[in-house]
Structure 1
């Protein structure tokens, strides 16, 4: 099991700072790297993959520095967002070339195994220039898997894939994580991250904004209003009681129950059962309405 560690990593281009003092640890399992366009996600992934030098700080895998250290490249598989395959080669030729660059003992067998993992055996003898965007993504994935690395860095790996291809890649990523690999992937589609990642790292404007399970991050944001859906035996009376308490800023009666905006989360969690008990109202459901990844990401970007 491998571990990627970034310590106070920065990267700048002239006067432009792309990444500023980022520290994070990426361990086994699936980690989602989130951030708006231009946040520095690709720059971070390229530094983790050894393709870009940090301007300051250090990136290591299992304690070994990555930059200018070819001995660790066998441990890392990288799928960059930009096209990196040679259009004049066939898919099979490209993946075999990657296997030979890694000096694998049987590059032909390794290439066939990697192509099979991404369901690209049938079109492997076609020219890459004639592939669809989704097929190019899959052949890049095969090239990253050909040397069986313990660490996978995937920059927007689902771009251009149809729904069936996307589901297959999700299953493959889950399988690799279950085998103990360290998988980091970036995506601008929050639903993909929510379905795959057990852990998220959020980067905004080149800085590290948050780390952890997105629901836990939301619960730590106590300075932000929390939205709850509440269902009870008497929603109208409960609404009247809650709106009078300073822990709430708004209560809306809907067909599905009450939508409550709590500005003091801790007080609200204590007041709600007390109010219901005093009014002899039975609580049937109390559920957070804003602990989705989308809502957490929106809060962080707006902060």
Structure 2
């Protein structure tokens, strides 16, 4: 059982702050590091793996500083997001390289086992240059698993995988979690995190925005104010009706024959609109959410 602890961790590059004052604890099981692209997820994972030193704060694994400790490195496997691999090597040679770097006593057997875990035995002796994107992802996972780490860090691991490969990888990670290993994977896709993660840590603009199980995070996201553009057969009448409901914060008439509406809860609003339209003989021509990007959702969490 291993626990990663980040205590007030920051990382900056010159005047650019990539991670700002993040504190979190990651224990056994699967933790999803969720946030939009550019949020600082890769920087956090690199510091967890000991590849990057924090500019401030500490990162420890079971009380030992991660950075610069070879024995701690032996307990960690990292799957980076970068696509650059040694394309002139075969898949087997690539995984064996990491086995040799870890000085495993049975490097050949460990290599074969890791490749089998990701279902690439049939392609192991092909050059990586011939691999699809999904296969390249899987051979990176095999390389990270070859020394049987207790902590596995994966940066956007499902990129390029087809649905069958994705299900297989999720099953593999879930099995490792059941063994008591500590697994952290980053994603900007809510559905991936929902399917796999026990714990969710939300990161936005380098800051730790929220923490909890997926139902808690989903509730924070869906209960925030939501904005919509609505076009109907009678915008003024619809505006008056909407303003009577307590779930609607505000309504504004646009010049281009449309309403801008801000509502508290997506579910309540989704039930309200068809009921009002049907009971008052109003036709809805358009209902478009205007702030459903991950950036807007997560930014709301940061500002709470």
CA 1:68 to 1:223, structure 2 compared with 1: closer, same or farther past 3 Å? Answer: same
Q: Is the 8 A contact 1:170 1:196 kept in 2?
A: yes
1:278 match: none
Between stretches 216-225 and 26-35, larger displacement belongs to: 216-225
- Is 1:188 the counterpart of 2:195 in the alignment? no
Cα distance in 2, alignment partners of residues 248 and 69 from structure 1: 54
Shift of 1:218: 5.0
Q: Is the 8 A contact 1:218 1:296 kept in 2?
A: no
- Is 1:155 the counterpart of 2:165 in the alignment? no
Shift of 1:215: 2.1
Q: Is the 8 A contact 1:217 1:296 kept in 2?
A: no
Cα distance in 1, alignment partners of residues 122 and 218 from structure 2: 45
Cα distance in 2, alignment partners of residues 188 and 150 from structure 1: 25
- Is 1:32 the counterpart of 2:37 in the alignment? no
SS at 2:121 equivalent = coil
SS at 1:52 equivalent = coil
Q: Is the 8 A contact 2:134 2:161 kept in 1?
A: yes
Cα distance in 1, alignment partners of residues 295 and 39 from structure 2: 13
Q: Is the 8 A contact 1:201 1:211 kept in 2?
A: yes
Q: Give the gaps of 5 or more residues in structure 2.
A: 227-242, 250-261, 269-291
1:10 match: 10
Cα RMSD, aligned residues only: 2.7
SS at 1:183 equivalent = strand
- Is 1:86 the counterpart of 2:86 in the alignment? yes
CA 1:193 to 1:160, structure 2 compared with 1: closer, same or farther past 3 Å? Answer: same
Cα distance in 1, alignment partners of residues 87 and 204 from structure 2: 34
2:49 match: 49
Q: Report how many aligned residue pairs link the two structures.
A: 252
Shift of 1:65: 0.3
Shift of 1:198: 1.3
SS at 2:123 equivalent = coil
- Is 1:75 the counterpart of 2:75 in the alignment? yes
| Superimposed CA distance per residue, residues 92-145 of structure 1 (whole angstroms, 9 cap, x where no aligned partner) | 011111111111110000000000000011100011111111111111000000
| Superimposed CA distance per residue, residues 17-43 of structure 1 (whole angstroms, 9 cap, x where no aligned partner) | 000110100111111101111110000
Cα distance in 2, alignment partners of residues 86 and 222 from structure 1: 43
Cα distance in 2, alignment partners of residues 221 and 20 from structure 1: 22
Q: Is the 8 A contact 1:18 1:40 kept in 2?
A: yes
Q: Is the 8 A contact 2:39 2:203 kept in 1?
A: yes
TM-score (norm 2): 0.76
SS at 2:112 equivalent = helix
Which contiguous aligned blocks of 4+ residues in structure 1 show a shift greater than 4 angstroms?
218-223, 261-264, 294-298
Q: Give the gaps of 5 or more residues in structure 1.
A: 227-242, 251-260, 269-293
2:288 match: none
2:279 match: none
TM-score (norm 1): 0.76
1:299 match: 297
| Superimposed CA distance per residue, residues 194-230 of structure 1 (whole angstroms, 9 cap, x where no aligned partner) | 111111101111010001113224556898359xxxx
Shift of 1:263: 5.1
